[in-house]
Structure 1
């Protein structure tokens, strides 16, 4: 037999070869493989022609393995073991029996949104490891576009043509104050009510600070920012300690454990932002990432 160049046996040919080698009969191999006898015969003949060597000597009742078959069987079985292992591994990933999923989120949002999500996901998929990338707001989109993570949960500070967003919930800006603060007694709190009031909020450079300054300007108010902090948690304890009211997202304020503080949504203008699932455009989610997205939708809802 002449051996064609660059011949690669198919998996079906290798499975037929293994069955015939161990069973010695086309009929028995065909039954094991759930094929017809003629189909097995064709596969063996194709393999022999491709390899350029005879693998079996035919007799009237059986097939006898040649020396070439004796040498080839260990290689064929190793290839088939690897293929079966690959198939089992991919099935495990697809059926969520193992794997990992990575999520980008800013530290502030992670603190208020992820605990319930991670607990629920862990109960549903204990074999899947969740990796949280708690990145700075200005790194959020680049972590997703650069495929450092599978998906993100947040409010992108900049529009990006290469990401897709799915709204999960809405959020607004609010004032947090002590119960004895005069502002706590107002039924409807307006930005104009903050004129001349020393307040605490985050430093410039954060997307939420741009929203705060823009809302105040729209209301014709020059905010008296007495303290600029990096973390909203700092603003909360300072407000509780009597340093003045603070401005922050409603979701964070209401998730805090400071029970002696009042959270009042700011109106005129009512400033809202969407918290979204963010994925790279054109990139399919893995089964693990899609499962996490399902839990996020279920736990956080669409408010």
Structure 2
């Protein structure tokens, strides 16, 4: 078997550190937009203990417009290449087959597609050919209009059914079963109540039988935690305490991984979870 196996550190969740090489991401858009800054940020995340650095060149915040293909390639390839040359495990966060192929060609080993292969069917062919791990998220359309699709009968049942269907299609296409990760897509075509319901029922998602990734870090629904009615929501960087609580909940539910901005704080939280479990 060729390709890179799914990262699985002993005894805890995998921690993916976010490297947004974008001018418009909701949390840190523009901070790491230039390649040198993004590379330095990726190295800092690795030094803090990240198992994987997740490099993306397209903002997927609600309402975001897509960059051109050439612009996305310009943003991500130097960053992926430099971090991979350092020995990092790099995932490429993209919905485009050509970006995934190019990133794998310069050292990425995981493809993280928020559309689960629906935005560009050729991306699945790239993954199958590389026999690399793929993260497939629950998705209902591109960012510019996705929040208009935030309607569910039962969000947990609906997301589980959609992910089960996508799992089956990806496995049938040749994605390796031990290298397919599912992601419920918190914040993607979902309102706050949908996100809380999914976090409350992660066991149902884990029961789908594939490793599960949760990406709650700094998302909008966490900005209302602890804020009085009528007061402004907390800005993204002030949502880390709430993010850490979601990481603990997810770890206790048995998820495979967490996609976060604050790697060091997440690792501390996971250490607490492990110590408590060791004393049960």
Q: Could you say whether these structures have the same fold, taking a TM-score greater than 0.5 normalized by the shorter chain as the test?
A: no
TM-score range, shorter chain: under 0.3
TM-score w.r.t. the length of structure 1 is 0.23
Structure with larger Rg: 1
